[in-house]
Structure 1
Amino acid sequence: MTASTMVSVMLPGVHRVRKRRANGGVAEYWYAWRGGPQILKAQANSDVLLAREVARATPKAIQAYEVERKPRGDQNYLYGLITRYLVTMAEDDTLAARTKADRRKHLDRARSDLGQMELRALESRRARATLIEWRDRYKATPKTADELLGAVSTVLKWAHDRGELATNPVEDFPRLYKSNRAEVIWEDHHLEILLQNSEPEFQFAVRLAALSGLREGDLIELPWSAVGTDSIVWQTNKSRRRRTIVIPMTKPLQKLLAEIPKHATTVLASSRKRPWKQAGLAAALRRARLDALEAARKAQNDPQAESGIEGLRFHDLRGTAATNYLLAGLEIADVALILGWKPERVREIAARYISAEAMGRAMVKRMGKNAPKTKAVNRLVNRTQAAPRRATNS
């Protein structure tokens, strides 16, 4: 266990900063939480000497941390309520580590800004407006602002469920951030640009995402053992392995999997023949974007030209997968189940990117698979095909 990990375990949520000094030395500072009070300050001329200074100062830092993390005054303030929730949250095994880290960061900000607010004030008619006004102080970054108030709302709901509050004043609060990327997908011409400017290993990742609809985290962890003859069966990362998805083995997906070399236990591997990391995929996408942009400007002899794939994210390949499934003959409800989306979202994509003619062909394909093969139907088909064309009088 590294020293950094040990500190995180002993002092959950502590914010550590290390800096190189102008004189060649090094310094380390600890804060009870990001933006909170400083609980440790150590300076030395080398990393080895700094480690000794930090070790010497750690016991006092732990005492200061415990003091700062205790509810201030009695239990009647929002500071104390948030602190009690954080203790409970730390012991909750159903929450992912990333969720806990993000929520703690937002609640540290809330404690700093609103900690002295009395709990009885949360039950007044003015409470909702007060908390929304606080959220609006951060409206320059609307998504973060909503996440801040959302974290507070989680605490208030927790307190309401346990009888500490009569109500949650910001339940279903109006959001500042509105994003609907359901209609944003990588179309064929976008994929052509991306793949032409990508390294081979990244091309496999892009194609697999566009054909399977797997989330990025699941995509890079997908093992060969999950690949079957008729489907891919995988317990998703998103659900902490509690949700199993079944991805039908379409012919294009089957062909792609046959192309991918088996360099690792995972289906996808980087140029080093190791499983991809999300940071690696992001870096590969950035390189592809830059290469595509350079190629476009060179081809058009225009330094202001664009590549045509600006604004598209790797995650938008899930929308591409939705169109591929629909065109393969799957029903909207099936596609929604595979992707974990609401059917309405799949319909939005179908309405925008799939023509009525293409949807009709998909329906015929589906009907062809499901239609009963009775003698009556066969006679009708054969009779229709054999019937001579009747002449018309003009």
Structure 2
Amino acid sequence: MDGDTRMTIRAGGEEAQTTMGAVAGINKALDKASRKSKRTPMKETEADKKVTTQKDMRNSFFHPKNGIDTKFGKIDADAFDDPRIRRKVLEWRDKIGGKVGDDRLRHLQRLVKFGIDRAMILQNHLRDIPALYSSDRAEIMWSEAEIDDFVAGAPPQVGRILIVATETGLRPGDLVRLTRDDILPTPHGRRIVLRTRKRGRLASIPVTPRLAALIDDMPKHQTYLIINKGGEAYSHENYLGDSVSEWRDKLKMRKELRLYDARGTAATRLLAAGAELKEIAVAMGWSIKHAAEVIENYVALSPQMADGIGDKLARLRDTTGTKL
């Protein structure tokens, strides 16, 4: 375990099914599990979700920087029978971090189960590992100063990711496929209209001045709002979060900040603009409960909100003579 940490599955002294073969087997199982009868046609959003699941898994295995095949692609299968593999896997998962790290681990666990089912691996030392990522991140959001610092310090194509995310509140899976065709005129400006991939809800998002400037600066031949340094659309949504996290660390910003937290920032802007709780929930695709949690934390954490409440109390005192 102290040497090279790459893996080729071998059994009985001969190379057996490789990681690529395991992926094919897992994908076949996914296809079978998600296949619908002819009498119950699959909805478009359900089909998209199935394709996304398989795409996520392939990305977990073959990511060139920290994929399963890159990290464990040439280790003998019996290395996974050694209890120390758990520490190695946790170090790998923790270095990736967040939901992406949890997804990589989950897919590796499926590969290990695949090996156990075929008697390539005898022990499962990757059971019962708690997740890093918590879906309850209502109190984490990007401040305006942090957004400005990030955009100033990161490469332009990475800064665009955060700008579009904080101005629209869209999830990474929707950001990565956002194009000019999703932008429609309104009587007084423009809006983004698209059906969200996760819940299939139709979102209608006003184009803010900052987002409008970004769109207007796009070359005429550019279709996608977010592109990589080669001028192409990102091949997977995880690359957006990876890029933001990489430059967050390079700029020595708060470690807990992630691309997904830009949604909280977008929601609080709606609040500041006077939107009601229900309107915020509908715009963001949240439950009323989660929207309330985000807004509650914003009120507690935002100095601007505290100042605004103070000003309102002062005006009430002046107009009514009430001692507050």
Residue 323 of structure 1 is aligned with which of 268, 284, 290? 268
Distance 2:253 2:115 in 1: 44
Conserved? CA contact 1:236–1:244, under 8 Å: yes
Distance 2:192 2:309 in 1: 25
Conserved? CA contact 2:195–2:201, under 8 Å: yes
Structure 1 pair 237–28 and aligned structure 2 pair: CA distance change class (3 A): farther
Residue in 2 that maps onto 1:30: 17
Residue in 1 that maps onto 2:53: 99
* TM-score between the two structures when normalised by the length of structure 1: 0.47
Please report how far the alpha carbon of residue 285 of structure 1 lies from its aligned counterpart in structure 2 after TM superposition: 2.3
Conserved? CA contact 1:194–1:309, under 8 Å: no
Please report how far the alpha carbon of residue 227 of structure 1 lies from its aligned counterpart in structure 2 after TM superposition: 0.4
Residue in 2 that maps onto 1:340: 285
Distance 1:224 1:235 in 2: 15
Distance 2:110 2:249 in 1: 38
Deviation per residue, 1:60-114 (Å, 9 max, x gap): xxxxx9xxx9xxxxxxxxxxxxx9x967414245351343658997677678889
Please report how far the alpha carbon of residue 179 of structure 1 lies from its aligned counterpart in structure 2 after TM superposition: 4.5
Residue 182 of structure 1 is aligned with which of 129, 133, 138? 138
Structure 1 pair 217–28 and aligned structure 2 pair: CA distance change class (3 A): farther
Distance 1:327 1:189 in 2: 16
Unaligned runs of 5+ in 2: 1-6, 37-41, 58-102, 118-123, 300-304, 313-318, 320-324
Please report how far the alpha carbon of residue 288 of structure 1 lies from its aligned counterpart in structure 2 after TM superposition: 1.8
Structure 1 pair 245–360 and aligned structure 2 pair: CA distance change class (3 A): farther
Aligned residue runs from structure 1 range 1-394, under 5 A: 29-30=16-17, 88-92=32-36, 93=42, 94=46, 95-99=49-53, 138-139=127-128, 141-143=129-131, 179-230=135-186, 231-239=191-199, 242-277=200-235, 278=237, 280-292=239-251, 307-354=252-299, 355=305, 358=308
RCO comparison, higher one (Cα < 8 Å, 6+): 2
Please report how far the alpha carbon of residue 183 of structure 1 lies from its aligned counterpart in structure 2 after TM superposition: 1.5
* TM-score between the two structures when normalised by the length of structure 2: 0.56
Q: Partner letter of residue 143 of structure 1? A: A
Rg (Cα) greater in structure: 1
Please report how far the alpha carbon of residue 328 of structure 1 lies from its aligned counterpart in structure 2 after TM superposition: 1.9
Conserved? CA contact 2:150–2:248, under 8 Å: yes
Please report how far the alpha carbon of residue 343 of structure 1 lies from its aligned counterpart in structure 2 after TM superposition: 1.8
Cα RMSD (Å) = 4.3
Conserved? CA contact 2:142–2:257, under 8 Å: yes
Structure 1 pair 194–345 and aligned structure 2 pair: CA distance change class (3 A): same
Distance 2:291 2:161 in 1: 23
Percent identity, please: 25
Structure 1 pair 195–214 and aligned structure 2 pair: CA distance change class (3 A): same
Distance 1:194 1:279 in 2: 19
Structure 1 pair 344–266 and aligned structure 2 pair: CA distance change class (3 A): same
Conserved? CA contact 2:192–2:206, under 8 Å: yes
Residue in 2 that maps onto 1:73: none
